[in-house]
């Protein structure tokens, strides 16, 4: 009497093994993204020239410990998937504490959850709890002292649609025709503690003169390096900005760009920027 094939090559066993492999891969990917590193693709120009539209990086989620914001979100509107971090770890939201938490350093480039919308943002940490922040005549002041600024020429880019959203850059020398050179003033800003980085400006704008922002305990104040093209803590949430960001909303620190695409998709490898592979973020 013939016996059933129970070898590893049996069709049923092959299907089971395939399913197990997929499940294990998803579990490993989930652990990797929740506790170690989260991929992030730069969608806007608010952090130029430190970060360009199309830069792809991994966010170090170990840098500041873990909170509800460390749980991954999965948003695929095209197929109706919208899983938010608070859907998974919402029970831990609201205490503004972190597991294995450590304090961020002024000048860090950080990905955080917008306190109102829950969207992921990436900006530079400017103000720590207890700080008083103000911008006067385009110059950042921290606790009453102006930061050091040094003129450093101009930043040049083509005036053309950028990234998957096809947004046009803002130019100090505007109006500029399509394909023309778009210019911005470039300065090197030095924060207390010595962190240096370039900032961009396009002239006198509404946020170049602000009131004094008193950063509450347990919160942080963020700004974009592209100062005149950044929605950040200078505008309160009630007016469509970011406002102060709670400690628990920090996702992780951006340390290094893996690669960068100047095209509409990161899959367009022929548009990858050769000078940005494994580039350190400062």
Does residue 12 have a pLDDT over 70?
Answer: no
Query: What is the pLDDT at residue 26?
Result: 45
Residue 261 annotated to the active site? no
Average pLDDT over residues 219-238: 96
For 162-185, letters b (16+ CB in 10 Å) and e give: bbeeeeebbbbeeebeeeeebbbb
**Average predicted confidence (pLDDT) for the chain:** 87
The tens digit of pLDDT for each residue in 44-95 reads: 999 999 999 999 999 999 999 999 988 877 666 677 767 777 777 877 788 8
17-32: per-residue pLDDT in tens?
556 555 544 444 445 4
Give the separation between CA 245 and CA 222, rounded to whole angstroms.
8
CATH class for the region spanning 11-280? mainly beta
- Residue 147 has φ and ψ, to the nearest 5°, of -75, 160
pLDDT band (50, 70, 90) for residue 239:
very high
pLDDT band of 14, cuts 50, 70, 90: low
Query: Quick one: average pLDDT of 261-281?
Result: 91
Spatial separation of the C-alpha atoms in residues 61 and 52, rounded to whole Å: 21
- Which residue among the candidates 123, 184, 185, 261 is catalytic per the annotation? 123
- Read off the pLDDT of residues 188-222 as tens digits, 9 standing for 90 and up: 999 999 999 999 999 889 899 999 999 999 999 99
DSSP letter string over 100-165?
T-----TT-EEEEE-TTT--EEEEEEEE-TT-EEEEETTEEEETTEEPEEEEEEEEEEESS-BTTT
pLDDT at 29: 47
- The answer to whether 186 touches 156, Cβ cutoff 8 Å, is no
R_g (Cα) of the chain, nearest Å: 22
Q: Identify whether 274 is a catalytic site residue.
A: no
Residue 242 or 7, more confident: 242
User: Given this model, what pLDDT does residue 32 score?
Assistant: 43
DSSP assignment, residue 246? E
Q: What is the pLDDT of residue 219?
A: 98
- The pLDDT value recorded for residue 53 is 95
pTM: 0.84
What's the pLDDT score for residue 89? 81
Mean pLDDT in residue range 210-237? 97
Parse the chain into domains and list their residue ranges: 11-280
Q: Which is catalytic among the residues 44, 46, 73, 260?
A: 46
pLDDT tens digits along 163-179: 888 889 999 998 899 99
Tens of pLDDT along 113-167? 999 999 999 999 999 999 999 999 999 999 999 999 999 999 999 999 998 888 8
What is the rounded CA–CA span in Å between residue 226 and residue 198? 9
Which one is predicted more confidently, 228 or 263?
228
The pLDDT confidence band at residue 229, using thresholds 50, 70 and 90, is very high
């Amino acid at each position: 009497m013939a016996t059933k094939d129970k070898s590893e090559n049996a069709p049923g066993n092959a299907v089971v093994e395939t399913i197990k492999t997929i499940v294990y891969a998803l579990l490993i990917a989930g652990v990797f993204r929740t506790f170690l590193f989260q991929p992030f693709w730069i969608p806007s120009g608010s952090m130029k020239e430190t970060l360009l539209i199309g830069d792809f990086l991994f966010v170090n989620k170990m840098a500041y410990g873990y909170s509800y914001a460390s749980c991954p979100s999965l948003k695929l509107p095209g197929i109706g998937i919208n899983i938010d971090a608070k859907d998974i770890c919402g029970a831990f939201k609201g205490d503004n504490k972190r597991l294995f938490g450590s304090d961020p350093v002024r000048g860090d480039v950080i990905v955080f959850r917008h306190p109102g919308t829950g969207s992921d943002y990436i900006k530079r940490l400017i103000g720590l709890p207890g700080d008083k922040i103000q911008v006067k005549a385009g110059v950042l002041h921290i606790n009453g002292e102006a930061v050091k600024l040094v003129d450093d020429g101009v930043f040049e880019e083509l005036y053309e649609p950028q990234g998957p959203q096809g947004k046009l850059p803002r130019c100090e020398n505007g109006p500029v025709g399509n394909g023309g050179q778009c210019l911005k003033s470039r300065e090197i800003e030095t924060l207390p503690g010595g962190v240096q980085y370039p900032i961009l400006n396009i002239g006198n704008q509404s946020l170049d003169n602000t009131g004094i922002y008193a950063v509450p305990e347990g919160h942080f104040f963020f700004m974009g390096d592209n100062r005149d093209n950044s929605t950040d803590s200078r505008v309160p949430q009630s007016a469509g900005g970011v406002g102060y960001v709670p400690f628990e909303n920090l996702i992780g620190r951006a340390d290094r760009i893996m690669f960068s695409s100047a095209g509409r998709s990161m899959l367009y490898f022929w548009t990858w920027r050769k000078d940005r592979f494994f580039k350190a973020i400062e």
